[in-house]
Chains A and B, each alone.
Chain A
Amino acid sequence: MRVALFLTCVNDTLYPDTGRAVVKLLTRLGVEVDFPMAQTCCGQAHYNTGYRHEAEPLARHFSEVFGEYEAIVTPSGSCGAMVRELYPRMGERARAEGRGDTLAATLAPVVPKTYELTEFLVDVLGVTDVGAYYPHKVTYHPTCHGLRGLGLGERPLRLLRAVKGLELAELPGAEECCGFGGTFALKNADVSAAMGTDKVRNAESTGAEVLCAADNSCLMHIGGTMTRLRTGMRPVHIAEILASTEEEPAV
């Protein structure tokens, strides 16, 4: 199977390790990974801040770049939710504005083929044990768009439970938002920071060394709060845990 990796602009620029981990993991599972170089950004920040018309060219660009692939895999719950949930909505809005079906038709092909990484592993490849080894105590934070937008449910936990050496600690208040919310973190910095602090304190209470999630944007916010609060905990993307093996362990 040949899939396209949609890494997202944030991962590409700030978290290349996550991209390398996804490539390593999928290759190990026998998937041929392609990285279309023309990819940029799905337009989520634009859309969610109210700039729908600025997001449209980005969505069109996404569809042009990825339209021909069999499957598109992304290690980001929120960017995955953008394509799956909000692209159809953008098409509908354009139609409601009297601009016809063009946008909807352009975006439609990528919508059902876009998968968040853990969803792709469990639903498409049908694996929960990916042969990973990660000898650390880990707590899992289900990010909002993965949890409620895509409905990832137990999938990430099933994958984590199958990792050799990994001790999973339950996170109190797991389903509460960490307070990132894209531009929310800037526009309502005080509330955002208060939410982040509570998330980090809850994570600390588990005694885990690592907090993992399926979205680097949330991890950036949580991780930035962790170092500021001097917790000694580390934020790690779930892809990096799943890519880790006994021969090549992640640190």
Chain B
Amino acid sequence: MSGTFVGMPAFPAAARDAVRDTTLRGNLRHATHTIRAKRANAVAELADWAELREAGKRIKDHTLRHLDHYLVRLEESVTAAGGTVHWAADADEANRIVTRLVKETGESEVVKVKSMATQEIGLNEALEEEGIRAYETDLAELIVQLGKDRPSHILVPAIHRNRGEIREIFAREMGEWGRPAPDGLTDTPAELAEAARLHLREKFLRAKVGISGANFMVAETGTLVVVESEGNGRMCLTLPETLISVVGIEKIVPTWQDLEVFLQTLPRSSTAERMNPYTSTWTGTTDGDGPRTFHLVLLDNGRTDTLADEVGRQALRCIRCSACLNVCPVYERAGGHAYGSVYPGPIGAILSPQLRGIGSEIDASLPYASSLCGACYEVCPVAIDIPEVLVHLRERVVEGGQVTRAGNKVVLQPAKGHAAERAAMRAARWAFTRPGVLRAGQRLASRTRRVHPRTLPGPGRAWSGTRDLPPVPAEPFRDWWQRTRNGKGGAR
């Protein structure tokens, strides 16, 4: 599995393959269950978790409501600190800007800090086309890149790989990209980490251009923040001469003080740590320290359209902690690739169809990739009601309605393939608003119960293929009630 997400089948089909892949399911189950339990402990340690969660939600909501104001503020502060701000409406524009900036340095290699935004726009591929090689330096991203694979988790992109698979990838691929893996590499974590360290160290010391994203941008000071566990990001941020940061416009917070909330909730939600090992902050440029040139590319790519949707906009509060992935029973079985997007799991199921629209088959299927169990909402540190947004997007799919695309209001037609379902829902509504009709249907079902098939036709086959149907009782409750209570009560 390599390359882009283009041409992905819809979620149910992609998930079917994943469900049957027992290694994948084993890897995912082990990893998500471990982190899930740790997260619960790390959160339980804080007596004021509920308040922190509410504060995070409010700060983000306030910022989103006044996004225009804070973005202008940010541009002013970044510029005053010696940086340059670029605005990118979509992926293509962002890629063009970054490619031009790299070319202007005369370099053909860049080192990268793990970043969702650059994955979202397919930056590595765009650079490749222009003859620029981008090296991922986050350990898990390195595994994914060397394995010509796609990330399957926000925080642990190689979560679907086990140690044996990683050893295999390192031994086979490292030499192609730089320093080869040592002979006789085993699959012990220490040896794997050391091989990656040596391989990456060469790249850090050679690279003249670094590319990053950011977890937060502080409007008041123009400061960008990256939190990480390995320190590789910090090397990318500080060693090269030029630093280019590509960041989604929703990553902004108004003040430095606001970080206090998120620097508590993010590490506990994501890696179950009280504090993340490395927090790097950078503000423009400083003489004799760090990069001499700093560019900030502010990425829209569907974000202002998402903001226009009253129910769906809460997805922009997301701080990409990945807690929702780790508790999601659907993600655990389907794996990240099935979501056909760099954002997998519950947040991916609501974010991707909003950023990209629901025009493609995969995007129209994502709102249904959930049993609405609510576990994601319960753990989300910024209280995004993911089930609410899923249902809202389902409505967009089946009923259409007004949405904003590229800044224009457009009326969506209902997606294809839901005609039979829509007819069934209408018929059910018709019957359910007429108690007499419901009753006649129940009686018919009871009377014919002995000849009911064991397997269902049409969409029902999906049910009866793996589960037995309950037998229809001889008498529905309401008939029993009327028979035994003699019609007492129930005057209405």
CB neighbours (8 Å) of A12 from chain B are 442, 476-478
Which positions 60-85 of chain A face chain B at CB distance < 8 Å?
61, 65
Name the one of A41, A49, A144 contacting B373, with C-beta atoms under 8 angstroms.
A144
Pair B442/A180 contact, Cβ less than 8 Å: no
> Interface stretch among A30-38, A105-113, A133-141?
A30-38
Known contacts: A50-B398, A186-B463. The answer to whether A191 contacts B374 by CB under 8 A is: no
Pair A61/B398 contact, Cβ less than 8 Å: no
Known contacts: A14-B472, A144-B374. The answer to whether A48 contacts B463 by CB under 8 A is: no
Pair A144/B428 contact, Cβ less than 8 Å: no
Minimal Cβ-Cβ distance residue in A for B422: A51
Pair A191/B398 contact, Cβ less than 8 Å: no
Name the one of A16, A53, A187, A227 contacting B12, with C-beta atoms under 8 angstroms.
A187
CB neighbours (8 Å) of B422 from chain A are 51
Q: Is A220 an interface residue (CB 8 A)?
A: yes
Q: Is B72 an interface residue (CB 8 A)?
A: no
Q: Is B384 an interface residue (CB 8 A)?
A: no
Name the one of A36, A43, A221 contacting B492, with C-beta atoms under 8 angstroms.
A36
Pair A188/B11 contact, Cβ less than 8 Å: yes
Closest chain A CB from B471 CB (angstroms): 8
Pair B466/A189 contact, Cβ less than 8 Å: yes
| Residue interface bits B375-402, CB-to-A below 8 A is 1, else 0 | 1011000000000100101111111000
Closest chain B CB from A212 CB (angstroms): 16
Closest chain B CB from A233 CB (angstroms): 13
Q: Is B369 an interface residue (CB 8 A)?
A: yes
Pair B478/A51 contact, Cβ less than 8 Å: no
Minimal Cβ-Cβ distance residue in A for B472: A14
Q: How far is the CA of A73 from the CA of B281 in the complex (A)?
A: 55
Pair B425/A188 contact, Cβ less than 8 Å: no
Known contacts: A39-B435, A177-B375, A224-B470. The answer to whether A52 contacts B477 by CB under 8 A is: no
Name the one of B371, B391, B463 contacting A50, with C-beta atoms under 8 angstroms.
B391
CB neighbours (8 Å) of A48 from chain B are 372, 391, 394
Known contacts: A13-B442, A49-B398. The answer to whether A193 contacts B467 by CB under 8 A is: yes
CB neighbours (8 Å) of A175 from chain B are 375
Pair A148/B377 contact, Cβ less than 8 Å: yes
Name the one of B25, B371, B481 contacting A184, with C-beta atoms under 8 angstroms.
B371
Name the one of A23, A58, A190, A195 contacting B329, with C-beta atoms under 8 angstroms.
A195
Closest chain B CB from A174 CB (angstroms): 12
Pair B460/A40 contact, Cβ less than 8 Å: no
Pair A58/B477 contact, Cβ less than 8 Å: no
Pair A51/B466 contact, Cβ less than 8 Å: no
Pair A145/B391 contact, Cβ less than 8 Å: no
Q: How far is the CA of A61 from the CA of B468 in the complex (A)?
A: 32
Q: Interface extent on A, as a size class?
A: 35 or more
Which positions 111-164 of chain A face chain B at CB distance < 8 Å?
144-145, 148-149
Q: Is B432 an interface residue (CB 8 A)?
A: yes
Known contacts: A14-B470, A50-B391. The answer to whether A181 contacts B373 by CB under 8 A is: yes
CB neighbours (8 Å) of A192 from chain B are 371
Pair A40/B374 contact, Cβ less than 8 Å: no
Q: Is A19 an interface residue (CB 8 A)?
A: yes
Q: Is B2 an interface residue (CB 8 A)?
A: no
Q: Is A202 an interface residue (CB 8 A)?
A: no
CB neighbours (8 Å) of A39 from chain B are 435
Q: Is A225 an interface residue (CB 8 A)?
A: yes
Q: How far is the CA of A73 from the CA of B474 in the complex (A)?
A: 25
Pair B473/A46 contact, Cβ less than 8 Å: no
Pair B310/A96 contact, Cβ less than 8 Å: yes
- Provide a sorted-by-A list of 18 A–B residue pairs whose CB atoms are within 8 angstroms: A14-B472, A20-B477, A36-B490, A40-B432, A40-B438, A45-B425, A47-B391, A48-B394, A50-B393, A50-B395, A89-B388, A148-B374, A177-B373, A177-B375, A183-B421, A188-B15, A190-B19, A227-B468
8 closest Cβ contacts across the A-B interface?
A181-B371, A50-B394, A224-B467, A189-B462, A177-B373, A37-B490, A16-B477, A193-B466
Given contacts A35-B478, A185-B462, A225-B467, 11 further A-B contacts (CB under 8 A): A16-B476, A33-B489, A38-B490, A40-B438, A41-B432, A48-B372, A145-B374, A176-B375, A177-B373, A187-B12, A195-B329
